[in-house]
Amino acid sequence: MIPTLQALWLAESADLDPVTGRVTLTGLFDQVRVPAGADDVSGGVVCFSVRGVHGEARLTLQYVDLADNEPLIVRPVRVEGEPLDTTDVSVRVNRIPVPHPGGYVWELYAGVELLGTVRVTATVGED
């Protein structure tokens, strides 16, 4: 069975409360500003919530350049959960490649099925 995506975000950080199990996201974003001459920016956390995980699901998180549809990052993600529970996942990305201004997208897949996306717009300039 394929999990159902509940939410997908980019954030500066994600903190898990060990007592309540709640995740606090700080600094949600969908835009990055790249300094002139740079080809990447400091990363963040790709966070998503899924339901319908039957034991274990093997997902793929992919960061794609929309100019040519080429993946710049491909990362397998193993998720464990119960079918009726919401499973929260945070994937740390240290650097995000930005070879040019324009559009990029993080995509979450279960096999070949696209579960969802979050778009990133990159501009050039000083912070």
Query: What pTM does this model have?
Result: 0.91
Percent of the chain with pLDDT over 90: 87
User: So what's the pLDDT on residue 119?
Assistant: 97
User: So what's the pLDDT on residue 1?
Assistant: 82
Total domain count, the chain: 1
pLDDT (tens digit, 9 = 90+) per residue, 18-59?
Answer: 999 889 999 999 999 999 889 999 989 999 999 999 999 999
Burial annotation 84-122 (CB, 10 A radius, 16+ → b, else e): eeebbbbbebeebebbeeeebebbbbbeeeebeebebeb
| CA separation for the pair 105, 108 (Å, rounded) | 10
Decide if pLDDT at 127 tops 70: no
| CA separation for the pair 120, 37 (Å, rounded) | 19
| CA separation for the pair 49, 87 (Å, rounded) | 5
- Give the range of the structural domain holding residue 72, as residue numbers without chain letter: 4-124
Position 71: which residue type?
P
| Domain containing residue 8: CATH number | 2.60.40.10
